[in-house]
Amino acid sequence: MEANLEKILVGVDDSDDALLAFDYAINLALKDNAELIVVSVLEKDEMNVFQALDRDYIHGEREMLEQHILDFQQQAKDRGIQSVRAVVAEGDPGEAIVKEVIPAVEPDLLVIGARAKQGVTRYFGSQAAYMAKYAPVSVTVVR
């Protein structure tokens, strides 16, 4: 018999796979009446050196990402999720989620898309594979 999930962590960006993962996580959270934690990662390696050194630029990028993740949080609430949290991490997405976010929120399950929108993370062989291999919790990869 399958145990009910209490906390589901879902990684989001604007890629199609991440949006599918978000929808999948919402459906799971509704089924189990679980808390949904939505995470997105500010990737500093996507910035050029001048942007990365500019505190105002990083602050602006982080504010945009925080606003965007609040939109995901509202979508989940609109779909009927009672408890939703939004988290923004910084750095390499796989490492930030595995080493920082998971220990902080202690989810029962991580739901991620197989591909992200840009950079090296476009290919399953990188970020999703890293999280599937190293996450200390079960991982569902959605494609």
pLDDT in tens, 73-129: 999 999 999 999 999 998 888 999 999 999 999 999 999 998 755 544 444 447 888
Helix intervals (H) in the chain? 16-32, 49-53, 55-78, 93-96, 102-105, 127-134
Give the model confidence (pLDDT) of 21-37 as tens digits.
999 999 999 999 999 99
Q: What is the pLDDT of residue 48?
A: 55
The ranges assigned to domains in the chain are: 7-142
Q: What is the pLDDT of residue 46?
A: 58
Q: Does domain 7-142 have CATH number 3.40.50.300?
A: no
